[in-house]
Amino acid sequence: MSRVTARRRVLRIRDGAASQRPDTLAAEEPMEIRLDGRPLTVTMRTPGSDFDLAAGFLLSEGVVRQSADIAAIRYCAGATGDGGNTYNVVDVALAPGVAVPDQSLERNFYTTSSCGLCGKASLDAVRTTAPWTVAEDPLHVEPETLTALPDRLRTAQRVFARTGGLHAAGLFTADGELLCLREDVGRHNAVDKVIGHSLRSGWLPLRGTILLVSGRASFELVQKAVMAGIPMLAAVSAPSSLAVELAEDRGLTLVGFLRGTSMNVYTRADRVQFDLPVVGSSTVSRHAAVTPEEVPASA
């Protein structure tokens, strides 16, 4: 936990009064991921669950598809000039028979903590073929279950409570049970950690689950959810147009502005069950679909 946060003295100004005090910051350090000893990428992340992060990243990129594809994950000793171990270099050994990705996957630059796909040559390069489909997943969720998830996520965020500076990703059942939560300075890293933990635990595909992220829903997060077989992605903030496009294309339910008692359902709204009157309709259907036009946008 000591590497997850850092302490720093700050000048605090409140109500016209100034004071010096220590402040707790969310840690951010680079982590290099190597594949069979070959450098693959560098990501800026919050230390912790590093093996999950590496495994989730490789699944999201289509390098591996199941836990058996990974033979071992280890920290690289001698990462510094004096032979010390910084615990910032992770080497993943692929199982025999698993193809090593071509040179086009390698990154000659670091990935920032805010964007997991910065520098991708084209959208075609990230439309990796998923090993399973989410379009036929029979998941159905009550609106009350969805609206309760952000509070459950926040309650479980141990480091956020101390720093206020971390994103979180949580994996939930259709009944709202929290299966896994990870925090990181980057929302894409938090998602990779959740997916990586699920991969290493042998849970994939993640049928009948909901992935909740504490922020916006971007193209990359939809892509990661699809690669893990997650049929529903919910975000407390807005989705991007490309995220909605990809979700619609893959049959994933995308929920945005999940705040308080409101939400916007952008795609595959048939998975949301409700007992609410629909504006412009004289009937109420228990399993009627909520469309983006029927749900008022959150302020």
Catalytic residues: 115
* Strand 110-111 relative to strand 38-45, pairing: parallel
| Cis amide prior to 205 (ω within 30 degrees) | yes
d(C-alpha 73, C-alpha 34), whole Å: 10
- Rounded to 5 degrees, φ, ψ at 216 are -85, 165
Q: Is 122 exposed, middle or buried (0-12, 13-18, 19+ CB in 10 A)?
A: exposed
Six token digits for residue 268: 């595959």
Instruction: Confirm if 183 and 46 have CB atoms less than 8 A apart.
Output: yes
Q: Which two tokens stand for residue 72?
A: 């071992």
Query: What whole-number distance in Å separates Cα of residue 141 and Cα of residue 177?
Result: 12
Looking at the DSSP bridge assignments, the partners of residue 267 are: 254
The dihedrals phi and psi of 127, each to the nearest 5 degrees, come to: -85, 60
C-alpha dist (Å) from residue 263 to 32, 276, 296: 37, 13, 8
Rounded Cα–Cα distance for residues 182 and 171 (Å): 9
